[in-house]
Structure formats: C-alpha cells, structure tokens
Amino acid sequence: MGAIESGLQLENLVSTVLASPRVAPPPATLGEARNAPGRDAQIADIQARIEREGIQYVFFQQVSVSGHVNGKGVVSDFFAQVAKNGYQLVYGATADLFLDRHENYIGFGPHTSELAAIADLDTFSVLPWDPRVARVFCDCYDTETGGLLESDPRQNLKVVADEVEAELSELLGTQVSFLCGIEPEMMWFGQKPSGGQEPIGLTKPWCYHINQFEQLREVILDVVAYGKALGLRMSYGDHEDSPGQLELNFAFDRASRTADNLTTYRQICAAVGRKHGLFPSFMPKPFTGVSANGAHHHFTLVDESGRNVFYDPNGPATLSDAGRSFLGGILKHYRALTCVSAPTVNSYKRFFDEGFWAPIHADYGWQNRTCAVRVAGSGRFEYRSVDSACNPYLTQAALLTCGLEGIRDKIDPGPPQSENVYEVLDRGTTIGRVPNTLGEALDALHEDETVRGALRGHLYEVFRHYKRDEWERFCSAVTDWERDQYFDVLP
C-alpha cells in the first residue's frame, strides 16, 4: 500500500490478505503457549524440514522496544527442544540490555527475573543469503507470573490489534480488518562514517532518476530477491532525493505481519550490505539540507468482502464518517503519537527542515503532502509524521488505539485542507505542530493516556526510560558543531 496501485491490483491484494488467517493474539499463559493444540506436530514438521534441507542453525529472535532484533542462536539439533519450551533471557533484553547514563539497566534491575521467548512457528523461514541458517520470530512471556511479558512490543501489537478490531467491528456493525503498508526509506553508504566525518552517499540526490537507480542495481536486485524468498510481496521502488536513498516497497498486510515484514526488510538490507561491502542506514536524517528517511504508514479498514469502510465517494476527501472519525482520533493525539513514530533525537531534525515537505502540522487533505496525514486514495490514509527509526509494532498499536477512540467518540477532524499548509500559516492561521524535540514529545506522551494505553503495562515504562535516557544523553553531550562554534568565542 506504500505505492499507488491500480484499482484491480489493490482489490487483488486485499483479497489475498483477507484470504490469509487472521493474526490471533498469543496464548495468554506460558503453559498454554507450550501446549497449544497442534504445536508438537508443527515442530516435528519443521524439524523434518531442517534435516531434509541441511539447516544447521536457527535464530530465535524477538524485537525490543527500540526495534532492534535480539534473541538466541540454536544449533539445529536443539531446535525441537527450544521450539517446545522457549529460550530464556533477562527481562532487560526487551530494552537491548542497555545501561542508562547512571549505569542502571533500562527498564529493569539486575535482580529481576528472566523472560521465556516462545517461537511463533508460522514465521519460520530459511535465510536466502545462507540456506544453512533459518530464523523464527518469538513472543515473550514472564517466567514469574506465567503471563505475557508486558514489555514485549510484538505480542503487545497482536493483542491490541485483536481487541481494537473486535471493538471496531462491533461499533461499525461489520467484521473489519486493519491493513497497513509502510514505505521503508533508507540510504546506502560506502561505509559507516566515524570520527565526525560527513557521510557519503553512493549516488547523487536526484529524485526518481533512473541512472541513480541503476547505480544501485545489484543492491536492489538482491534486496528484492531476498525479500521475495522471505515472503515479502515486493512491488515498487524508486530513488528518492537524498544521496543513496532508496524506497523499495512491499505489499501491505495485517498489522503484526506488516511489522514483521519491516523488521525482516531491515535484516535483509543489513545482509545485502555485508555482501557488497556497503553500509545501509535507517537513520532518519543523516544529511543537512536534503530530505530525510520517512516510513510513511498507509492504512485502512476493510470488511470481510474487501469493502473499504473508510471510503465514501461523496464524503469530504472521499472519506466516510467512520474514516473521518478514525482520522479525528489520530489528529487529536498527534503530539503524543509523534513520540512513538519519531522516536530518536535525530527524528526532530527532519521536522525542523521544513523545506522538504516536512509533515509537521496536524492537518489532513486529499493528496496534500504538506499535512501530517494525506488521504492518498479512496479511503486510504498516509500518516507521514513517522520516520525510518520507528518500531512498527509500537506505531501501529498507537495508531489503532487513537483511531478506535476517534470512532468510539465520533471525533470530527474538521474540513480537509486543500491549500499548501505553509501558505495558510503565512496568512496567520494557527495549526497544531508536532513537538520540536524528543524531550518535548516525551512530555506529550506522558500526558496522553490514550497513546500511553497503546503501550500497555510495563511496556510504556520501559519505552519512557529508554527514550528519556537518550534525550538526557543528547542534552549533556558536547558536539563537534559546538566546539567549532564556541571554542574560541572569546576574547
């Protein structure tokens, strides 16, 4: 859904997604997860495949609050044992086991217990860059209580999506599914810069230029091939308007599968980078004076027949009442949402550089790229205030939660914006703006019960600790720019 599809293509893609099983929330307890009906047979089938294909190693992987992929590697002889019982890591693995600037483990202490990560067996895949190795995503449980581990963003999204879809279905009187696609912009470099060096992109910053695309042809073909091998429905791509910047899209899916797909895409880019001796970066804004890396979220609601319930050809910006209310919930909470969708210090450099269609104002409009939300098609939204450093398990949980409130409370987003927002502002009109810094965004998130509620239980506290520490580290750091500017400021 990241690129523009024809009506028939879109209809076929929706039908394909709806024909796939709904993503159920994980079993409520560790015991139920280990003894789920049919699990032993599925493990045995995968073990037979491992032996048949000569797979030697399996990565059991989980996703942290920052979007990093952590986990354990297991020799294939032990696959069945680990798939049955799970592996254990300290709770702090959900915060990358990082220390804050006061030398405390983020989110947890050294006295806290261990999580149990249970394989989501449907995600087992062989890595195309090394068929001796496979990977499988996991959901995390609390070994002390036996319940789901609150600080695990992956299973949190599964639970949120299931509950929100159920309530939306009741409110709208029809079974609905949330479909989301993410545009993964990122940049390719010859090497990772160090020691204050300026990064050097592999191509000129010429947007849509085929020659720039051609220079990265071998990279692109490997990313596409690996993506297809790992189940991503690779579709469109282009060279964006920053050095080495590519956007290679894959088709939309249900919320948790889309998050898994973006995580997989990032791992693919890292593997392709190793193969070619290049460095792929998902940093939001590596350069001054050129565009940044967004991760626009395209989403909609469809019923069981594939009908888009956000669409009304006669409504404002072709939106139905439900679509406008869903959008109203997002715009109501846009400041707190920004903390989740733009989660790094660097993210706010993207918003500050307004000359590059920075999506900083809380407005919406039909195909209007000066707004935070663009109605990109018939009942399809593009949420633009999100960048390539986002954790897609958190962003989608937050968008769903805000949209549910919008429909539940029938929040009116007002009329669509048909003009250039910057010109409207020049005339003195006031339009809400995203936070200026990560610190300001953290304050907005802390004050917003709805968005906080999408990061359930301890997940919010771990996220807050992680990001507050990041902000404080930045505030206390002395940069190269400051030394250049002030080292000989007097006399």
In the chain, where are the structural domains located? 27-147, 159-475
Each residue of 441-463: pLDDT tens digit?
A: 999 999 999 999 999 999 999 99
Name the 3-class secondary structure at 399.
helix
27-147 homologous superfamily? Glutamine synthetase, N-terminal domain (3.10.20.70)
User: Could you give the percent of the chain with pLDDT greater than 70?
Assistant: 95
- Structure token digits, residue 318: 């072709």
- Burial class from Cβ neighbours inside 10 Å (0-12, 13-18, 19+) for residue 368 reads buried
Residue ranges with strand state E in 13-56: none
Q: What is the CA radius of gyration of the chain?
A: 22
pLDDT at position 2, please?
Answer: 44
Query: What is the rounded distance in angstroms from the CA atom of residue 163 to the CA atom of residue 150?
Result: 16
Alpha carbon separation from 194 to 232, 284, 401, 481, 487 (Å, rounded): 33, 17, 40, 15, 21
Closest CA to 119 of 219, 47, 214: 47
Query: What is the rounded distance in angstroms from the CA atom of residue 442 to the CA atom of residue 348?
Result: 12
Specify the length of the chain in residues.
491
HEC string of 205-216? CCCCCHHHHHHC
For residues 81-92, give the mean pLDDT: 95
* Residue 14: CA count within 13 A, CB half-sphere: 23
pLDDT at position 6, please?
Answer: 52
Residue 467: pLDDT band by 50, 70, 90 thresholds? Answer: very high
- The CATH number of 159-475, from 1.10.1060.10, 3.60.15.10, 3.30.590.10, 1.10.287.130, is 3.30.590.10
Residue 54: pLDDT band by 50, 70, 90 thresholds? Answer: very high
What is the DSSP-derived secondary structure letter of residue 482? H
pLDDT at position 362, please?
Answer: 77
- Structure token digits, residue 40: 């032993």
pLDDT at position 112, please?
Answer: 83
Edge-to-edge strands, sheet with 234-239:
234-239, 245-250, 185-189, 279-281
User: What DSSP letter does each residue of 248-295 carry, written as one string?
Assistant: EEE--EEHHHHHHHHHHHHHHHHHHHHHHT-EEE--S--SSSS---B-
pLDDT at position 425, please?
Answer: 61
Please determine, for residue 488, whether its predicted confidence score (pLDDT) is greater than 90: yes
Amino acid identity, position 151: S
Residue 127 φ then ψ, to 5°: -75, 120
Contact 368, 374 (CB under 8 A): yes
Query: What is the rounded distance in angstroms from the CA atom of residue 186 to the CA atom of residue 245?
Result: 6
Give 397 or 480, the one with higher predicted confidence. Answer: 397
